Structures are given as C-alpha cells and as structure tokens.
Amino acid sequence: MIAHLRGILAEKEPHQVVVDVGGVGYRVFIPLSTFERLPSLGEAVYLVTVTHVREDAFLLHGFATAAEREVFVVLNSVTGIGAKLAMAALSTFAPETLVSALAREDVTLLARIPGIGRRIAMRLVVELKERLPVLPSQPHDVLPDAQPASPTDANATPAAPNAPAQPTLRQDLISALVNLGYRAPDAERVLRTLPPHELTDPATALRAALKILSR
C-alpha cells in the first residue's frame, strides 16, 4: 500500500493531481482543501495517501494534512458512503467541522454535503459518534506553505449573472463539481452566476460554487 508520495507536481486540477516520482506519474484524487494548498506546477509536493485496490482499478487519494486523511478513512468505512462521498465531505467542510458535526449529531449540516442527504447523514451519526477520530488541536500540514481552507459558508448569496469562465477553467470546474456529486447542468448554472473576480483561479471559483450549491 502507498502511504505517501513525494515528487514533482506535474498536473493539477481541483479534484486530482499527477505527482511525478522518479519518472513515474501517479494520478491522485484530492479534496478541494488539498488543492488550495498545492504548490505551482513543477515544484516539489508531498501528500499523505490512502490506497484503494479494486478488481478494475488501483486508486490513490491524497491529502495535505493527516487530519484530512483520518477523517476520510473514517467516513469511507461507513456502508453506503464510499471514497467519492468522503472526498465530497472534505471538499465542503474542514475535517474539524465534520468531526464536530458528528459529535453534536448535527444531521442538518451533514446533509448539506453533496450526495449525502438526511438519511445518509443520520447513518453517519449513528455509526461514527462512538468512534470519531481524535484530531490534533493544530493539525500538521504536510504542504509547508499551505494556507488553511475556510469552511463552506452555507449562507452565501448567489451573485448576479456574469460572463462565463474561460473554456478550459470552466470544463475543469464542471468536472470537479460532477466528481463531488453535483449534476452537470446545476454546475453550469452556478458557474454562470459567479462574478469575474471569483473566476480568477480554480480554487476560488470552486469554493464560490460550493457555497451556493451546498445551501
């Protein structure tokens, strides 16, 4: 099993990266919080990882912090959740917010995660409230120059319609939102409402779109 990767950042998108390790490119699926901490292309990167081996695939999920990885592993252990929903949870809320919501049995907040809904949120609370991960008060960040991701503000108000993002950025954002469990038409609709200053980079645009979609 691959526990971490240290190499050169060869490609990056809001939901996945390619890390070149000694000439071998590893495709790694990441949450938005990790994407926001990534260095520039061509620079050194280090990710802690979780490996999933299936009959039809060998998948790597990477994280900027050990706290993210711990929460991912716990969420993924719940029947009916899976890696995709666990990554969506970490792209919507910080690890500390998720653990706190589970401890408080805050089903309403958990149900705002794309693809979860109230029924699955209740299952998360029932199955995890007695085995929540203990996160450090100041989680160690494995990407040295990282800035912490801000939790999604569910009360954000959609902005007035504006011009769409550049084609490549737009396609990347739609792909990322679909991977997080949203429908492509909904992703396209929300992207059309974002003002130009929120379309300057993928992380800013995706965070803004999630604020609207997770209301």
pLDDT-derived band at 154 (thresholds 50, 70, 90) equals: very low
Q: Where are the domains of the chain?
A: 4-63, 66-128, 167-213
Q: Where are the beta strands (DSSP E) in 54-160?
A: 58-63
Helices (H) and strands (E) in the chain, counts: 9, 5
Q: How many CA atoms lie within 13 A of 19 on its CB side?
A: 23
160-166 average pLDDT score: 40
pLDDT at 132 over 70: yes
Return the SS3 of 131.
Answer: coil
The pLDDT-based confidence of 152 (bands split at 50, 70, 90) is very low
pLDDT at residue 137 in the model: 53
Type and span of the H or E element at 102: helix 95-104
Q: Which fold has domain 4-63?
A: OB fold (Dihydrolipoamide Acetyltransferase, E2P) (2.40.50)
Region 31-49: what's the mean pLDDT?
A: 92
pLDDT at 167: 52
Tokens of 46: 């280090």
Q: Which CATH number fits domain 167-213: 1.10.8, 1.10.3470, 1.10.3720, 3.40.1440?
A: 1.10.8
Cut 0.85: pTM above it: no
> What pLDDT is attached to residue 64?
93
Residue 73's pLDDT band (cuts 50, 70, 90): very high
pLDDT of 185 reads 84
Closest CA to 194 of 212, 179, 181: 212
Q: Are 99 and 173 in contact (CB under 8 A)?
A: no
Please give the distance of CA 40 from its chain centroid, rounded to a whole number: 19
Return the percentage of the chain with pLDDT > 70, whole number. 84
Query: Would you identify the CATH topology of the domain 66-128?
Result: DNA polymerase; domain 1 (1.10.150)
pLDDT range class, residue 194, cuts 50, 70, 90: confident
Q: Is the pLDDT of residue 52 over 50?
A: yes
**What does the pLDDT read at residue 214?**
63
* Residue located via tokens 């809904």: 117
pLDDT of residue 165: 40
